[in-house]
């Protein structure tokens, strides 16, 4: 059976879930797939392109915002959905952050998020910056929760993060951002 890009990406996502970004190397991926490392480059140009595809896969299950939902409510719901998807995967914030830096519109969820920033009424000259603010709010929340979990594993005197409290803190911060957006229009 011939190797496909979908197999390469699915295996990369699996390695990320099991071991984290530090162990997601092209050599390890090739070994996992039973191919020579060079075979991967028929499907992705480099590791950065692979990570863009991995980010897309991580966010692919998030449903689009419901039609007719008020834009600020849809933006909040989508932001929570993105965070919820990423918090389940070690280093997912780093992967999506890299993908966003390389190709901001690489994933449907992040394109939808940028579209909702537009729909909330942010002027065209500020849309990219405001969309980046929301994306970085999401990624920062996810990275913070992952880092607190790692710190608690390394130091038994530290309490593990409270996932519900972390999610609530994110939602409060996001609400403040959204109120500022809606009020300033």
Q: Among candidates 89, 90, 77, which has minimal Cα distance to 22? A: 90
pLDDT band at 184 (very low <50, low <70, confident <90, very high): low
**CB count, 10 Å around CB of 144?**
15
Can you give the pLDDT at residue 164? 94
Give pLDDT, residue 183: 62
Asked if pLDDT for residue 72 goes beyond 70, the answer is: yes
165 pLDDT above the threshold of 90: yes
- The secondary structure of 62-121 as a DSSP string is SPPPPTTS-HHHHHHHHHHHHHHHHTTSTTHHHHHHHHHHH-TTSSHHHHHHHHHHHHHT
Q: Which pLDDT score is estimated for 45?
A: 94
**Residue 96 banded pLDDT, cuts 50, 70, 90:** very high
Confidence (pLDDT) at 106 = 87
Q: Over 70: is that where the pLDDT of 185 sits?
A: no
Give the global pTM: 0.91
Q: What's the mean per-residue pLDDT of the chain? A: 93
pLDDT surpassing 80 at residue 79: yes
Domains present along the chain, CATH in parentheses: 5-44 (1.10.10.60), 63-183 (1.10.357.10)
Indicate the burial class of 97 (C-beta count within 10 angstroms; 0-12, 13-18, 19 or more): buried
pLDDT tens string 107-135: 999 999 999 999 998 888 999 999 999 99
Closest CA to 173 of 149, 146, 142, 128: 142
**Could you tell me the CA-to-CA distances from 59 to 15, 38, 142, 165 in Å, in that order?**
16, 27, 14, 23
Rounded to whole angstroms, the Cα distance separating 23 from 28 reads: 7
Biggest CA pair distance of the chain:
57
């Amino acid at each position: 059976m011939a190797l496909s890009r979908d197999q390469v990406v699915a295996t990369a996502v699996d390695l990320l879930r099991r071991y984290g970004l530090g162990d997601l190397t092209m050599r390890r991926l090739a070994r996992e797939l039973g191919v020579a490392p060079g075979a991967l480059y028929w499907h992705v140009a480099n590791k950065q392109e692979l990570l863009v595809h991995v980010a897309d896969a991580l966010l692919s299950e998030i449903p689009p915002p419901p039609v007719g939902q008020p834009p600020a409510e849809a933006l909040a719901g989508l932001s929570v959905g993105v965070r919820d998807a990423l918090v389940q995967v070690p280093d997912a914030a780093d992967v999506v952050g890299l993908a966003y830096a390389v190709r901001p519109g690489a994933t449907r969820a992040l394109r939808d998020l940028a579209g909702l920033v537009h729909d909330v009424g942010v002027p065209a000259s500020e849309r990219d910056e405001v969309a980046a603010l929301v994306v970085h709010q999401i990624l920062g929340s996810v990275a913070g929760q992952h880092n607190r979990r790692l710190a608690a594993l390394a130091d038994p005197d530290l309490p593990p993060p409270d996932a519900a409290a972390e999610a609530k803190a994110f939602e409060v911060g996001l609400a403040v951002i959204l109120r500022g957006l809606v009020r300033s229009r």
